[in-house]
Amino acid sequence: MKLLEDRIRQDGKIFPGDVLKVDSFLNHRIDVALLSQIGKEFYKRYQNEGVSLILTVEASGIGVACLAAEAFGCPVLFAKKSKTSNIGDNFWSATAHSYTHGNDNTLIVSKDYLGKGERILILDDFLANGCAATALTEICAQAGTTVVGIGAVIEKTYQKGGDALRQKGFRVESLARIASMSPEAGIKFC
């Protein structure tokens, strides 16, 4: 998606640990008009899949999931990273290693909002090693739902999460595919 690649080139900053910072428009300050275009692009790609629910992880996936959900006309469900007292034991859960924080998070989703028959599109801001997306697929399997696709705004293709998920048979689509990045050479798209 050229608009997105241009914005990443313009505003993305490369940090140590293979982290691309795009928090001026994607996951801290949010450029809603851009996310709306991103949401429409996901709709274009998955519109024939009968998506009934978009599943993401708090917090950085929520913005893009909401704008995409507007295009699909479906709700968003986000996995929480901590158990709140009012959810009781009524939840599906899976563990994901956090790429940016370096710790393990137990992702939880209320059983009230995820159950058999749903056709799920998993969306997130980044796809790196695939831990977050894999944990979400595990939660979907526990709930007996069908994952019709996995979408990332930005995929760092030199990290192996996307390919591992494709090999498992998931349809993975990413809108900006980074082939390599370094402070010296900058960002190269596929």
Binding residues vs ligand 5GP (CB under 6 A): 19-21, 57, 60, 99-100, 124-133, 161
Output the smallest distance, CB 27 to ligand 5GP, in A: 6
Q: In what order do the strands lie in the sheet with 146-156?
A: 76-79, 53-57, 119-127, 146-156, 172-182, 186-189
Angle value at C-alpha 149, between 148 and 152, nearest 5 degrees:
160
Contact 121, 72 (CB under 8 A): yes
State how far the Cα of 59 lies from the Cα of 10, in Å rounded to an integer.
24
Contact 87, 111 (CB under 8 A): no
* Of 72 and 126, CB closest to ligand 5GP: 126
Output the smallest distance, CB 75 to ligand 5GP, in A: 20
* Of 88 and 168, CB closest to ligand 5GP: 168
Contact 114, 53 (CB under 8 A): yes
Output the smallest distance, CB 39 to ligand 5GP, in A: 17
Output the smallest distance, CB 5 to ligand 5GP, in A: 15
Given the DSSP bridges, would you call strands 19-21 and 13-15 parallel, antiparallel or unpaired?
antiparallel
Output the smallest distance, CB 3 to ligand 5GP, in A: 19
* Of 3 and 59, CB closest to ligand 5GP: 59
* Of 97 and 119, CB closest to ligand 5GP: 97
Q: Reduce the secondary structure of 173-189 to three states and give it as a string.
A: EEEEEEEEEECCCEEEE
* Of 73 and 169, CB closest to ligand 5GP: 169
